[in-house]
């Protein structure tokens, strides 16, 4: 298809040439017009308008761009760099390699520019938390004091000795932000706090890609916010994971923090035997407190995982470092299957040695600006 594209250099040369000629003719017309008192009006000038000034496509992905000329004339298309993105005669832009380029919509001497960004990944999931309630096509509340899914019932207090009772009331969506608030209040099962836990289980799952969330975390002793992933069970009727029970089935902790430590966060990968965890983890110092906005991300591929904070890598684990008891014959197990996303704010628990909030604590909140997942583009 590239051979059929008109090179932008030819277009620009043509535009400049025609424009110069047009300026000469316009000057002459104005000179004559000044004698006749009839200069050309603005409505005689042709303009081109593109529907989008910016466009993002993945390598191999195609998106249609649209533009119109004010006089209804035909639009011709050209790319500044066909090696980054090329464009067909109908305005379909296709990513060829990662990078930036400009696509032009041209009519005569008039043109409009579309700045094109070509990425390795395409967006496959996003929640910008617009509206005034949680999007239940993407998320499910996990409530109570343990995980109950189909015939599967998890250990009490989420297996970590946590002090909160999870309830939908602790979740709020407003002004483009998800807020999960842990509040000190009597709750069922002897819990002294209410908070919230949501997941994409049964709604969205993926294998390999780039996942990120922009978050503010509570700087309160005894609070344990988390952005993490678990393997997707086959169904509610068959809750067994492909690689058995935790931690043979794997767990990916993209972000955890201890509220009392306001400038560090933690990233961890769990794997190994059923019923016990082998793990690789890292503590990362932030450029500003956890209570300020930071972007926490994971770049997950078959061969390795890379954790990033504000775009900077903080931990890397290669596939030859992880393993699974049940998937011992598979070098990439347990991280070669679909995982789902979780967001929660726990209180107390084993992560910080059972530390509970102090007596003065009333509430603390975790905020999420967005969650996004990208994957390499596939036509299938």
Kindly report the CATH number assigned to the domain that includes residue 138. Answer: 2.60.120.200
- Shared domain check, 147 and 113: no
- Shared domain check, 142 and 22: no
Nearest alpha carbon to residue 175 among 129, 127, 125: 129
Checking if the pLDDT of 43 tops 90, the result is no
- Shared domain check, 280 and 169: yes
Paired tokens of 319: 């596939």
Total residue count of the chain as it appears in this document: 380
Residue 37: per-residue pLDDT: 40
What's the whole-number mean pLDDT along residues 5-20?
46
3-state secondary structure 1-41: CHHHCCCHHHHHHHHHHHHHHHHHHHHHHHHHHHHHCCCCC
Going by pLDDT thresholds of 50, 70 and 90, the confidence category of residue 378 is confident
- Shared domain check, 86 and 102: yes
Q: 292 catalytic, yes or no?
A: no
- Shared domain check, 285 and 169: yes
- Shared domain check, 78 and 17: yes
CATH code of the domain covering residue 72: 2.60.40.1080
- Shared domain check, 134 and 60: no
- Which one of 101, 119, 137 terminates a domain? 119
94-128 pLDDT, tens digit per residue, is 999 999 999 999 999 899 999 999 988 889 999 99
Q: How many domains, the chain?
A: 2
Q: What is the pTM of this model?
A: 0.80
Determine which one of 53, 162, 251, 316 is catalytic: 251
Determine which one of 115, 212, 256, 376 is catalytic: 256
What's the whole-number mean pLDDT along residues 328-350?
97
What H or E segment, with its residue span, contains residue 306?
A: strand 304-309
Contact at 8 Å (CB) between 242 and 249? yes
Q: 256 catalytic, yes or no?
A: yes
Sequence-separated (6 or more) residues with CB below 8 Å from residue 41: none
User: Strand 62-64 relative to strand 92-95: parallel, antiparallel, unpaired?
Assistant: antiparallel
Question: How many distinct helices (H) and strands (E) make up the chain?
Answer: 1, 28
- Shared domain check, 241 and 266: yes
- Shared domain check, 178 and 273: yes
Going by pLDDT thresholds of 50, 70 and 90, the confidence category of residue 150 is confident
- Which one of 119, 143, 166 terminates a domain? 119
Checking if the pLDDT of 341 tops 70, the result is yes
Checking if the pLDDT of 10 tops 90, the result is no
- Shared domain check, 148 and 76: no
Domain of 301?
Answer: 123-376
- Which one of 91, 119, 147 terminates a domain? 119
- Shared domain check, 283 and 235: yes
- Shared domain check, 215 and 277: yes
Q: Calculate the average pLDDT of the chain.
A: 89
Going by pLDDT thresholds of 50, 70 and 90, the confidence category of residue 17 is very low
Going by pLDDT thresholds of 50, 70 and 90, the confidence category of residue 152 is confident
């Amino acid at each position: 298809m590239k051979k059929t594209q008109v090179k932008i250099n030819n277009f620009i040369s043509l535009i400049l040439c025609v424009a110069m000629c047009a300026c000469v003719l316009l000057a002459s017309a104005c000179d004559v017009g000044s004698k006749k008192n009839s200069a050309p009006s603005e409505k005689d000038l042709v303009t081109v308008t593109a529907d989008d000034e910016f466009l993002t496509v993945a390598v191999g992905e195609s998106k249609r761009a649209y533009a119109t000329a004010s006089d209804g004339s035909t639009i011709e298309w050209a790319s500044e760099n066909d090696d980054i993105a090329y464009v067909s005669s109908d305005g379909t832009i296709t990513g060829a390699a990662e990078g930036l380029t400009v696509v032009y919509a041209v009519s005569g001497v008039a043109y409009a520019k579309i700045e094109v960004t070509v990425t390795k990944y395409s967006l496959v999931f996003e929640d910008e938390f617009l509206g005034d309630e949680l999007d239940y096509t993407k998320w499910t509340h996990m409530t109570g004091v343990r995980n109950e899914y189909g015939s599967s019932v998890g250990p009490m207090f989420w297996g970590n000795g946590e002090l909160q009772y999870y309830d939908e009331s602790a979740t709020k969506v407003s002004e483009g932000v998800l807020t999960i608030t842990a509040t000190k209040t009597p709750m069922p099962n002897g819990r002294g706090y209410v908070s919230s836990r949501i997941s994409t289980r049964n709604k969205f799952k993926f294998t390999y890609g780039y996942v990120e969330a922009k978050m503010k975390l509570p700087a309160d002793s005894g609070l344990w916010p988390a952005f993490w992933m678990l393997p997707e069970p086959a169904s509610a009727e068959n809750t067994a994971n492909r690689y058995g029970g935790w931690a043979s089935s794997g767990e990916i902790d993209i972000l955890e923090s201890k509220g009392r430590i306001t400038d560090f966060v933690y990233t961890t990968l769990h794997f190994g035997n059923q019923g016990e965890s082998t793990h690789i983890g890292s503590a990362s110092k932030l450029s500003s407190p956890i209570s300020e906005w930071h972007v926490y991300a994971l770049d997950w591929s078959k061969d390795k995982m890379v954790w990033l904070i504000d775009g900077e890598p903080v931990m890397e684990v290669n596939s030859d470092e992880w393993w699974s008891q049940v998937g011992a014959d598979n070098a990439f197990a347990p991280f070669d299957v679909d995982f789902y996303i979780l967001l929660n704010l726990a209180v107390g628990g084993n992560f910080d040695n059972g530390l509970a909030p102090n007596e003065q604590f009333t509430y603390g909140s975790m905020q999420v600006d967005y969650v996004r997942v990208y994957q390499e583009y596939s036509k299938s």
